[in-house]
Amino acid sequence: MALVKRALLRDDPRPLWVCGWGGMSVLAQALWDLERELRPADFDAVLGKLRIHSISDQDFSGPWMRRCYGERLSYIVTPSQPDSSGTKDYWRAAWPGISTDRNAHGSEDGIRRTKGFSGADFDLVSKGWVRTYVRSVSPLGRLYPQTRFILEGDTPSYLGLISNGLNCSEYPDFGG
């Protein structure tokens, strides 16, 4: 959390992008602390330079930040509507098509199926594919971890930050 606070307080006029795949509790705690430590105008300046792109709400910290800081916070997300377990409507988030979770979450249309999300291409995100096209290609590829659980990708949370001439990171709704 100290690194997040230090980055938010750095004397740098550029926006600070925070890309989230998991829950946003560390960022939420940093904002909670800074709101109590800074003068209101300084805290508003921190919020003004912060840009958040989260894949979905995997815990209650994202909804809490959006509720607490409202329009002062630039927050891109396809929110789920968490219930007490944090899973209600989780399947509506942006990531199911790249997940190889065959058993836990159901399908894009919300109907539980034994093979999980029907949109995922399991051949492209399998351990065999990783072994053939990542781990055996280069010394860096050999360092890619051999996972015990599902393979996922963080690409949606940072891809919009890569300038390709068609997009504008400040306006992700433009596409690109």
Phi then psi dihedrals of residue 86, to 5 deg:
80, 15
83/85 Cα distance (integer angstroms)? 5
pLDDT for 112: 47
pLDDT less than 50: residues of the chain: 84-86, 100, 103, 105-116
Paired strand residues for 74: 51
pLDDT for 39: 98
Nearest to 95 by CA among 132, 129, 125: 125
pLDDT for 134: 87
pLDDT for 21: 73
Do 100 and 126 form a contact (C-beta atoms < 8 A)? yes
Phi then psi dihedrals of residue 115, to 5 deg:
-105, 20
pTM of the model: 0.66
